[in-house]
Amino acid sequence: MISKDCKEMGMTIPSQKVVRALDNLPGRPMDCVYDASTGRYLEPVNLPSRPLKLRLLGWTIGMFSRSKVAILDTGMLANHPRLRKKIVGAVDFTGEGPEDLNGHGTAVALVLLASSFVPTKLLNVKVLDKDKVGTKEDLIAGMRWAEKFGVDMINLSLGILQDCDGTCDVCQVANRIARTGVIICAAAGNEGLTCPARADGVLAAGGSPTVIFAPINR
């Protein structure tokens, strides 16, 4: 009855925030990437080192091309020393602005950069708010925006926990984009497989690695 009244009055009904970051971090893990007490930025320090041959291969590939990765998350700290020269585009679907007010998106971006063996440029696509939640409409809009930007990969450390056989509207959009050649990597979920990780064309990533962050030594 309330929804009907709102529609009759011409009011916009807020979409439910069913999209959630999938992690084991505290509610606002900003301390993982920025120490407000000292003004120092942090970076992951315990990721496996890349063999010399792999680094040389990445350097050679980087001479001819650069990978563009869209990270759909809580945003990024634009002034982070490890990110500020890597971010080539930003868009906000939450109304908070593209800056990260939580820390999760920045942490994801730092881990991805530290793990990549090819030069990578980042797109900051903010679809989750400071509380790490967002709407499926914003998630879909974010994926479509990244596709139009011409990315090589879309990273989704987020998902919707729901009953789905891989054909919901979010999974359908992910599958369509994947068929164009864009790699979509989505978190599988800590409480069961989530969407769009259920989609056939999406790479579902699982596991709970412990990443240690420490201040940058310069």
140, two tokens: 């879909």
Give residue 217's pLDDT.
79
Give residue 209's pLDDT.
64
Please write the tens of the pLDDT for every residue from 128-158: 999 999 999 999 999 999 999 999 999 999 9
Q: Closest Cα partner for 28 from 160, 159, 128?
A: 128
Give residue 66's pLDDT.
64
34, two tokens: 């920025």
Rounded CA gap, 193 and 206, in Å? 9
Please write the tens of the pLDDT for every residue from 57-95: 444 444 444 689 999 999 999 999 999 999 999 999 999
Number of Cβ within a 10 Å radius of residue 163: 8
- pLDDT higher for 172 or 23? 172
Rounded to the nearest integer, the mean pLDDT of the chain is 84
Strand-pair partners of 214: 43
Rounded CA gap, 52 and 35, in Å? 32
Going by the DSSP 8-state scheme, the letter that residue 203 receives in this structure is: E
Amino acid, single-letter form, for residue 208: S
Give residue 114's pLDDT.
86
Position 4 pLDDT exceeds 60:
no
Give residue 210's pLDDT.
78
pTM of the model: 0.86
